[in-house]
Every structure is written in structure tokens, then in C-alpha cells.
Structure 1
């Protein structure tokens, strides 16, 4: 398996993050009820974007990690592969995550006349949970009980990072029986009614993504290619139908609700399966696909940034209105456009100045650690 970028996976990332952004409009960007949003949320919910992210993560990570660890022949080689994976993930994820945790904490102190960023106490606790990777457990504990803080979306990041920490060990432990271990993990969760605690440790979508990646390395995988999606009308219709079905399943109108999360995980895996062939089976090649791919490539930053961006827009509008100044941004459409522009700007800056440089540093460190000491230049040969 190679690490080549799959355009349809980027499209799925865009759909996932746009769904989360839409879900958080009411309550994060708009403090007062917006009738149109409330009407839409009654019929369609888009929080399933998080589960789609999980399925994508499992697939993308496992494509290279599973064969690398299952193929290692010595304990030292297994350790090196695991260490390199952890280092790449750390450099990829932690700098941006910690930056925005710090900025939200500062905003809580210096840009919070409206109270949009929440209380100092809640945000300090939330920041600690985000840095120490237990945000999902704090989120479950706070559910309908107390204020979490502005960084509540970090619960899913904590779950993914716990997965990244433990998954290599799971591969080494089960080796060739990994498929059966993952199938058991999926089956148990699908058949279990989710409590708040089980909601924040849900790994069925992650495991399904891993299983897809392992299947994609087998010859029979190509025989199941959904060629019936080749016509543009078929792929667009199927994509919209699956997205609408997921949005319906995420509402209280879905009568199979006790098994909602497992059903959403399975359908998310179906989308990743379609995307995995890299044949534009979701969206035809063109301007729309390129736009979605751009959003997908910045989706991590967008996910981190959208809540503080929403809250900052609320704070600015509050200050303008408190000063008696005319504020066209007070209209819901203008407010939304302003928030979207801010998210685009900040996510692009984050991508160029934080994500890519730190990702490259991580790759360089892994490469340097894998180079024998005899091949490294001596200190005296380096220029100042």
C-alpha cells in the first residue's frame, strides 16, 4: 500500500468538516435560536461528520502502518516503525492543537465581554484535558452537568490520539489475527446501547476504516469496485442519498436509535470504501471536486478553528452593538459569511505556517533517526 493522496478521501474530509461546522452553528455562532436552523436540525443532523472522520482516519493510517508492523522481522524494527509513526502523528497534530488551545484560553481572558468563550475555570480545565489527551472523558463527565469550555471539540481528537497510541501495540499483539480482533471490536459496539461514556470511546468507525485498508491490499478488493457509479448522475445521486440517510439517522426521528452510532459507522465506512478506489466515484473531477479537496486538505485546522472563530464573531458583534454602532454582521446571513471568511483565512494561515512546517519537521526527524550515525555529517563540518 502506498501513501498516495486519494482525491475522494479529501472530498470526504471536506464533507465531514462541513457537516460539523453546520451542526455547531446553533449555540456556538448563534446564541439566540435561528428558526431556519432549528427547522433543519429537526429533520436532519450532521454531527455524523465526526464518525466519518473516524472511518477516514482508520483507513488512512492503516494503509501504511499495518503492513509495516506486520512485516517487521525483529523487535528493534517493530520499535522503530512504532516510534516513527508516533513521531509523525505528534508533529502533525499536536502543534496546531496546542496553539488553538492557548489562543482560546487567551481569548477567554482578553476578548470575552459577551461571555462567548465561557468561564475561565471551565476553559482552564478544558485546556488541561486537551493537552493531556483525556478530553473525551471530561466531555462525557460534563454531559448536561456542567460547562465544558470552548475546546469541547477536542473530545474527538483525544479519542483519535488514544487510538494512534494504542493501535500499533494492537497490531503487534494480534499480528495475523488482527482482522478477527477488529471484527469483534466492531460487533460488540454495534450491538451495545451507547451510554455517554461509550459515546466518547466509540471506535467502531475507526476499526471499520482499518479493516477497509487491510482489505484494499488483497487482490479480490478490485473485483468489488462500484463501477455502477461511473456515470456522473449515479455518483452524485448516491453521494447525496447516503449523506441524507446519515443526516436522518442522526436525528431523534430514527427509530432504531439505540443502535444509531453503529449504523452511522457502517454507512461512513461505505463512503470510505467508495472513495478508496480513487476513481472519482463520489464527485466528478472538476471545480467542485477541487474546492472540496482544498477544504479537505485544511480540514484539521478548520475543525480546530471553527469554534473560536464562531465565538470571536459573536464577541465582535456584541461589542459593536454595545457601542451603539451599526452592525450589518448582526444579520444571520452576514454573521455566517463573516465567520466563514474568518475560518478560511485562519485555517489557511494555520496550514501554511503551522501544519505543513511541523509535518515536514516530523518527517525530517524520522528520516534523521533512521540514518546510521556513520552517515551523519560531523559537528565540525556543519556551518554556522
Structure 2
């Protein structure tokens, strides 16, 4: 089960990344766009990050917990943990570091408009992204000083910290892991979130892990939402929950201590529906295939969309300065240009960075397993 691709999970990844891309859309324009301001009054789509957290918690725990719990000794446990860390590193870091480097280069050499911010801020942001403390820098910078163009790396840093610590949590908590995770969710549920607490929020991650642990229990199948088998019912549920999440994400709920916890729970509900792998959220068809494509490229889209926005702004600025025709004053044309570049760059990144490096990580893990088996057999025969 753990090796299968769940189409509804891919749909949710697409749903999440499209929300984040829209949330940052004002960064594409040098001047405020009134329509975007009106839409943001009613739709706060930053919750896509929390949906990503819930998906990550579920997907990682679904494969990692059984593997680690089958280990018969500490040495085997640490070998499996090392293999997990290696696979995650090869999956995430090459793309992340590539786009950090490109953003820094654009800031230095292609930034006449200042769209990418200052060099000093971007150097510091790049270090934070490379060394995985971007979430702490983001919490410190918000409302105080310029972060830099790689601000989306705060959530990647939090996920990397989760990947690093989760195997240790499984080892330390053992049979009490469920209760520890439930306590982690309960403590955060009605907590007023400061900037620091927002940057280390783990309730959606914990709920995703709990869902993965529940999915191997008999009661999980008894709670299967079979009523969603009816045509388009699942899409209706997806849209309704998405609208509710978007409304919770508006400034109307800024001071509500429960809104982040509510967003985490609703995100986990969507992942729960998707987890049955029955296409409950979106039936097979053209729309599902498009969303699955977006979902499979969602990591690249997440990393790429902000630098593309700033790149388009810089190009428009230079065209205007040279007296040449540009999309300036035509938001739809500007948006289409950005969308084309995001699709192009994310596809190139997927084919030539993500996929080859993921395969290289898998090959390295297999090589380590083979060498370990060879050493073990040599020790036995000698």
C-alpha cells in the first residue's frame, strides 16, 4: 500500500500549491491590483501550506513507521533512518538549493527594479534556506525587516526539521507515540499563535501522522466515506472545505486563537478522504489528470513561482525603460506570461533535477544496503 501513488493526494497537492501561488500573486505586480485586494478580503489561500503539512505527515508516516518498527535492533534502526534521511535529502535539497542560487544570482545581476530585494537580505535568506533555519528567520523578520525573495523556504525548513526529528520521536516514544502526537495537537488547538509559534506549527503534521497510524487499524475501513462515491459529490466537498479554509484564512479571523487549529483539522479531513485511494475527491478524467500533473510538480511550482513573479516584474520594468511594448497595465497578459514560465520551469525542474536526483538517492540507498549485506555475509563465512 505504501508504495502506491494516490491520485487524490496528488489532487490535494495541486489544490494546495495553486492556493499558495494565488496568495502570493500581488508579488507579480509592482502596483496594487484592486481585484486582488477584493478577493483577498474573502479568500486567504495561505492555508495551502497547512494542507501540505498534513499530506507530508500522512505520506511520510505511512511508509516510515512500519519500516522502523520492523527493525530488530538499534543498528538496523539507524540504518533505516539514515536511508530515509538520504532519500529525503536527494528528493528535496537539489531543487531547493538550485533555486536559492538562481534567486541570489538574479538579485545581484538582474534586479534593476529592486523586485528581488537587497543583496544583503537575500544572502542572509539564502544561508537560512541552505541550513534549514528559514522558519526562525522568517518569524524574526516578519513586520520588522526585509526577509529576502526566498521567504517561502520557511515551510520547507519546518518540514526538513520534521524529517530530521520524526525518526527520533518514533524511537523515544515507542508505544506512546499516539498520545504524544494527540497532546501536541491539543496543546496547539486553541493557542494564540505568535510569529514564532506560526513558524513552528506542527498540528497539521501531527494529524497527518495520526491518520497514517489509524489507517492500519480495522476501524479505519469502517469509517470510509462511501457516500462520496456518487458523481461529483467529492468535488463538492472539496470545494466547500476549500471555501471554508479560505474564509478562515482572511483577516476576519486574525485574532481568533482557534483558526490555525481549525485549518489543520480541515486539512486533515481532506487527507483522510484522499487516503482511501478511491478517487473520492475527484473522479478519473481529464480534470483529475491535469490536477495530478500539477500535484506531481507541486514542489517545483512552490519553489519557482515567487522568483518567476519577480523575474516578470523585472523584465516589464526593463521593457518600459527601453520604450518597448510590455504587458504593463494588462494584468491578465502579465499573469499569463508568469503562468507559462511557472509551467515551463517546473516541468524542466521535474525532469532534469527532481527525478534524476530522486533516482540517484534511491540508487545510493540500494548500494549501501548491498555493501552492508556483503559485509555481513563475509563476517558470517569468516
TM-score (norm 1): 0.96
The alignment status of 1:83 with 2:82, answered yes or no, reads yes
Partner of 1:302: 301
**For residues 365 and 221 of structure 1, what CA distance do their matches in structure 2 show?**
36
Q: Which whole-Å deviations, capped at 9, do the CAs of 1:155-187 have from their partners, x for residues lacking one?
A: 000000000000000001011111001000000
**For residues 168 and 238 of structure 2, what CA distance do their matches in structure 1 show?**
35
Partner of 2:20: 20
Q: How many residues align?
A: 375
Partner of 2:269: 270
**For residues 234 and 193 of structure 2, what CA distance do their matches in structure 1 show?**
33
Structure 1 residues 48 and 72: alpha-carbon distance in aligned structure 2, compared to 1, 3 A threshold: same
The alignment status of 1:181 with 2:187, answered yes or no, reads no
* C-alpha deviation, 1:312, in angstroms: 0.3
Structure 2 residue ranges without an equivalent (≥5): 376-382
Secondary structure, counterpart of 2:82 in structure 1: helix
**For residues 144 and 254 of structure 1, what CA distance do their matches in structure 2 show?**
19
227-236 or 33-42, larger mean C-alpha shift: 227-236
Contact 1:239/1:282 (CA < 8 Å) preserved in 2? yes
- RMSD (CA atoms): 1.2
* C-alpha deviation, 1:44, in angstroms: 1.0
Secondary structure, counterpart of 2:370 in structure 1: coil
Structure 1: which 4+ aligned runs deviate by more than 4 Å? Answer: 373-376
**For residues 306 and 325 of structure 2, what CA distance do their matches in structure 1 show?**
25
Contact 1:70/1:176 (CA < 8 Å) preserved in 2? no
Secondary structure, counterpart of 1:11 in structure 2: helix
Contact 1:317/1:330 (CA < 8 Å) preserved in 2? no
Structure 1 residue ranges without an equivalent (≥5): 377-384
Q: Which whole-Å deviations, capped at 9, do the CAs of 1:230-281 have from their partners, x for residues lacking one?
A: 1123112111100000000111223872211111000000000000011111
* C-alpha deviation, 1:373, in angstroms: 5.6
Alignment map for 1:61-100 (pairs within 5 Å): 61-100=60-99
303-312 or 253-262, larger mean C-alpha shift: 253-262
Partner of 1:343: 342
Partner of 1:166: 165
Contact 2:15/2:48 (CA < 8 Å) preserved in 1? yes
* C-alpha deviation, 1:363, in angstroms: 0.3
Alignment map for 1:101-250 (pairs within 5 Å): 101-250=100-249
Q: Which whole-Å deviations, capped at 9, do the CAs of 1:18-65 have from their partners, x for residues lacking one?
A: 000000001x11121111111010011100000000000000000111
